[in-house]
Structure 1
Amino acid sequence: MTSGLAMAKVSPQEAARLGKDLTPMGAEKAGNASGSIPAWTGGITQPVKGYEEGEFHPDPYATDRVRHEITLANYKQFEQYLTPGQIALLKKYPTYSIRVYPSRRSAAYPKFVYDAVKKNAVTAELQPYGTGVRNTIMASPFPIPSDGAEVLWNHTLRYRGLSWEYTSSTLNTTSGGDKSITTREYQYYFAYSEPGITLPEIDNKIFYLKRKTLSPARMSGQMTLVHETLDQIRSPRKSWIYMPGQRRVRRTPDLAYDTADIDSNGVRTIDQVDMFNGAPNLYDWKLIGKQEKYIPYNAYQVHQGDLEIDDIAGTKHINPQLLRYEPHRVWVVEATLRLGMSHLYAKRRYYFDEDTWQIVLAEEYGEDGKLLQVTEAHTINYYQVPMVYSTLEVTYDLVQDRYFAEGLDNERDPIDMNVEFNRREFTSSALRREAR
């Protein structure tokens, strides 16, 4: 990637492996040698018994029992399956633990997504320096990757449905244990995933986001509009904000890279949202390879409507009794800051679930090589679609001894993925009309 040359697409013969020895998304279909990771047999393709549209998702694996509970006292027995970030959390917080369950390869997507992935495999190419992707649509572009930047773009462009609407809370903590909660309404429209659309028609847009703050009262009524772009070097993301006190909609400064995310009180940067987002041009992306790790997965226990935020959020970390980890294969990619570039994090390491391309674990390092932060994405299969996405994302700041959690919709309604939006509802003019 550092040469600036575009990466080549794979041959039709290589792409023919998809759906055979590889899953339609590009993962190894077979299980591992020890049997701790089973073969992929299609995942959860339809709603499980007891699910009703508009309700939280019943746990299809509710009868599974914990196989290992890893703590500071016994982590060395399992060290090869733990990431440096997980070990750091175990050492930092005596009450933190990792509860390991049987591995369930639940990931599944609609057939039209699988068809798009297979087509992308023989057409998609990275633009020079990995700043964008051409000749791709709908879903991940590189199911058989040969480069770290290709793996990253598989996460950035993974299939996430078409339209969403939901209400959710974020939580910030302090080193002293105080908590603050902000609740917002969210609306998403994923132009890149619109069936039948072409790359020129999406006008360099991946998705549109509109967000309205409901509480606390001092922030109520604030609205934000974001246009997320595919090539953020050629055309950076655009955003607008409406402040009730000012009674006008205005463009916000370009929010990217290591600009502090104000939603998190500075715990994370803008490009840490959704584990990583935005232009990747500041880093060299090295593909380390595949590893077997204990990763957050099938997080249905923490995705339940009868839980309150206080049940989930502890003083120093999320309640480990509600979290589920499983052995899975992950692609490991390390990002190193390029010579002459500036960013708060000099090195970053990401762990991508092979079945979904979702980043499930991330680690951020300073110039001195010290681990600064650890982020986890706790995912479920939204099996009414089906598709896999995080239900809870948590960033732990090891230096400031606090954490930020996003996706706390338990005291609200879950995501509505049947809502129908179009791009006309996500213009700055539409935001002004809504503000009035």
Structure 2
Amino acid sequence: MRKQLWNSSLAGPLMATLVAMSTPTFAKVGADEAAKLGKELTPVGAEKAGNKAGTIPAWTPQAQVTYKKGEYPSDATLEAEKPLFTITSAEVGKYGALLTEGHKELFKRYPQTYKMIVYPSHRNFNFPAKYLEETVKNATRAELEGVDNPKGALIGFPFPIPKSGAEPVWNHRVKFRGENIRRYNNQMIVQQDGKFSLTKIVEDVKFYYANINGKTEIELKPGADFLRYLSETISPPRVAGTFILVHEKAGFGPEGRSAWLYAPALKRIRRAPAVCCDNPYEGTDGHQFYDQVDMYNGVLERFTWKLVGKKEMYIPYNSYRIAGPKTKYADIAKPNHVNPELPRYELHRVWVVEADNKPDQRHTFKKRTMYFDEDSWNVVAIDDYDQQGKLLQFQEGHPIEYRDVLAVTTQPEVIYHFDSGRYFVTAMNNEDKPYDNSVVLKDSDFEADTVQKRTSK
């Protein structure tokens, strides 16, 4: 633990000043480079063309569609496709350069049962026109001071042409997801024999940044909320009635997040600075850290971030089958790993970012290697290493597109715990309800007093 070197009342302002003085500012992209957006690059910064081998196609964005009430995202054409081939443990040497270390570890541990079924690649993910237009503009107006202090970005991805490792993380954190959303999040801890226990959470999220319907344009800057989040645990009984409230912001340290926790045993809501980083999310029995929600979220200050570059890899993609209502939770949960018949893998280009834990900042992970889909900026995989440099966990996110709002998210997300042999699956709604983007949420719904009154009814 660090020694206290100054009066706590001055710590926040002084720390912010010291950080501003000691950290670099990554400048805006020049006009010539930004001019590539919408030409050889897509508006969000991906390569518009396919690869030379023809195994990755050109970007052909999907048009917006209308969903019926209660309809899950789906794509009948993709679901009818036949696989190209299957990677088994015998072919890891052949395909190893195109696999994450986490995937290779799964092949090593479970050579008889683990496999990756590879399908034709499709690049149909799209975003609303306003969001694309503002993303192009952000290339020449957005800046990042250090790793936690962006400024100048409005509505769209802030850094479509990244120059530092922290910039793809910010693209992921503020990606477009509509204006309001109610998410039915079912989670399971799966034992080595395939038996599992379920937790059900309902999450409400209100997005301030990346809101194309907002009356005012919200700049992404320190201290300003870019989203508000409220979760209620429905079951099991031992954790039912727990609420977590978060005001997510840009900024260093406590400035980057305000959080509250309501515990039924205490019958009151209280500030919760521990809703951060590698502290376990309530009710997950230590199988998910707070900064593993949505693959990665929260402050970046505990790591240094290196932009390694872009490469071709086999990643989860167009995952409508594993996320759909025909697939039950028991279909997903198998011994040692997710049922390998369900995920869909495609060859895509990803941005690779390495995050190294700073020596003076505590975290369970010494290093994280993160993989970002070039077309959506979603984190689709993370290799997590312990303080001895050993691969401790592997996170895998399965992207699907909600074409009614043109938003891409990962459903489900899996965390493999190589130390225990268990794995954790979150963001499942197969046996529940599809996400609701039509819900109307007010600012006041995300205030501590409102949550306290809600629990006393």
Q: TM-score, length-normalised on structure 2?
A: 0.90
Report the alpha carbon displacement of residue 400 of structure 1 after superposing the two structures with TM: 1.1
Matching of residue 84 in structure 1 with residue 101 in structure 2:
yes
Corresponding position of 1:139: 156
Counterpart Cα distance in 2 of 1:329 and 1:345: 26
Corresponding position of 1:21: 40
Counterpart Cα distance in 1 of 2:237 and 2:387: 40
Say which SS state the counterpart of residue 375 (structure 1) adopts.
strand
Corresponding position of 1:383: 403
Q: Contact 2:188–2:199 (CA<8 Å) still a contact in 1?
A: yes
Corresponding position of 1:302: 322
* 1:203–1:335 CA distance, 2 compared to 1 (3 A): closer
Matching of residue 34 in structure 1 with residue 53 in structure 2:
yes
Corresponding position of 1:102: 120
- 1:261 paired residue among 281, 286, 302: 281
Aligned 1:335-414 pairs, distance under 5 A: 335-414=355-434
Counterpart Cα distance in 2 of 1:269 and 1:247: 24
Counterpart Cα distance in 2 of 1:202 and 1:6: 14
Matching of residue 432 in structure 1 with residue 422 in structure 2:
no
The one-letter code sitting in structure 2 at the alignment partner of 1:115 is: E
The one-letter code sitting in structure 1 at the alignment partner of 2:431 is: E
Corresponding position of 1:156: 173
Counterpart Cα distance in 1 of 2:220 and 2:424: 37
Segment of structure 1 superposing worse, 76-85 or 217-226: 217-226
Q: CA RMSD in A?
A: 2.0
Corresponding position of 1:12: 31
The one-letter code sitting in structure 2 at the alignment partner of 1:6 is: T
Counterpart Cα distance in 1 of 2:87 and 2:283: 32
Aligned 1:193-208 pairs, distance under 5 A: 193-194=210-211, 195=214, 196-199=216-219, 204-208=224-228
Counterpart Cα distance in 2 of 1:368 and 1:186: 36
The one-letter code sitting in structure 2 at the alignment partner of 1:297 is: Y
The one-letter code sitting in structure 1 at the alignment partner of 2:119 is: Y
Corresponding position of 1:47: 65
Say which SS state the counterpart of residue 298 (structure 1) adopts.
coil
Instruction: Give percent identity, aligned residues only.
Output: 38
Counterpart Cα distance in 1 of 2:307 and 2:126: 25
Say which SS state the counterpart of residue 108 (structure 2) adopts.
helix
* 1:359–1:28 CA distance, 2 compared to 1 (3 A): same
Counterpart Cα distance in 2 of 1:432 and 1:109: 37
Unaligned runs of 5+ in 1: none
Unaligned runs of 5+ in 2: 1-18
Corresponding position of 1:331: 351
Report the alpha carbon displacement of residue 201 of structure 1 after superposing the two structures with TM: 9.8
Say which SS state the counterpart of residue 73 (structure 1) adopts.
helix
Report the alpha carbon displacement of residue 56 of structure 1 after superposing the two structures with TM: 1.0
Report the alpha carbon displacement of residue 148 of structure 1 after superposing the two structures with TM: 1.0
1:354-399: CA deviation from partner (whole Å, max 9, x where unpaired):
0111110100112322111110010111111111111110000111
Report the alpha carbon displacement of residue 217 of structure 1 after superposing the two structures with TM: 2.2
Report the alpha carbon displacement of residue 222 of structure 1 after superposing the two structures with TM: 2.1
Segment of structure 1 superposing worse, 218-227 or 92-101: 218-227
* 1:281–1:253 CA distance, 2 compared to 1 (3 A): closer
Report the alpha carbon displacement of residue 74 of structure 1 after superposing the two structures with TM: 2.1
Corresponding position of 2:248: 228
Report the alpha carbon displacement of residue 177 of structure 1 after superposing the two structures with TM: 4.2
- 1:276 paired residue among 296, 315, 327: 296
Say which SS state the counterpart of residue 155 (structure 1) adopts.
helix
Matching of residue 112 in structure 1 with residue 130 in structure 2:
yes
Counterpart Cα distance in 2 of 1:164 and 1:198: 18
Counterpart Cα distance in 2 of 1:248 and 1:268: 24
Matching of residue 72 in structure 1 with residue 89 in structure 2:
yes
Counterpart Cα distance in 1 of 2:275 and 2:221: 25
Report the alpha carbon displacement of residue 270 of structure 1 after superposing the two structures with TM: 1.8
Counterpart Cα distance in 1 of 2:369 and 2:185: 28
Q: Contact 2:87–2:117 (CA<8 Å) still a contact in 1?
A: yes
Say which SS state the counterpart of residue 323 (structure 1) adopts.
coil
Q: TM-score, length-normalised on structure 1?
A: 0.94
Counterpart Cα distance in 2 of 1:166 and 1:343: 29
Report the alpha carbon displacement of residue 64 of structure 1 after superposing the two structures with TM: 1.3
Say which SS state the counterpart of residue 130 (structure 1) adopts.
coil
Answer 1 or 2: higher relative contact order, Cα 8 Å, separation at least 6. Answer: 1
Corresponding position of 1:322: 342
The one-letter code sitting in structure 2 at the alignment partner of 1:88 is: E
The one-letter code sitting in structure 2 at the alignment partner of 1:250 is: R
1:6-45: CA deviation from partner (whole Å, max 9, x where unpaired):
100012222221111100110000000100000002x222
- 2:268 paired residue among 230, 248, 252: 248
1:143-162: CA deviation from partner (whole Å, max 9, x where unpaired):
01111111221112222221
Counterpart Cα distance in 2 of 1:421 and 1:233: 28
1:247-296: CA deviation from partner (whole Å, max 9, x where unpaired):
22222233222222333321232212222111112212111111100000
Counterpart Cα distance in 1 of 2:221 and 2:363: 33
Q: Contact 1:29–1:40 (CA<8 Å) still a contact in 2?
A: yes
Say which SS state the counterpart of residue 320 (structure 1) adopts.
coil
Q: Contact 1:191–1:423 (CA<8 Å) still a contact in 2?
A: no
Counterpart Cα distance in 1 of 2:321 and 2:220: 41
The one-letter code sitting in structure 1 at the alignment partner of 2:166 is: A
Aligned residue pairs total 432
Q: Contact 2:153–2:219 (CA<8 Å) still a contact in 1?
A: yes
Q: Contact 1:192–1:202 (CA<8 Å) still a contact in 2?
A: no
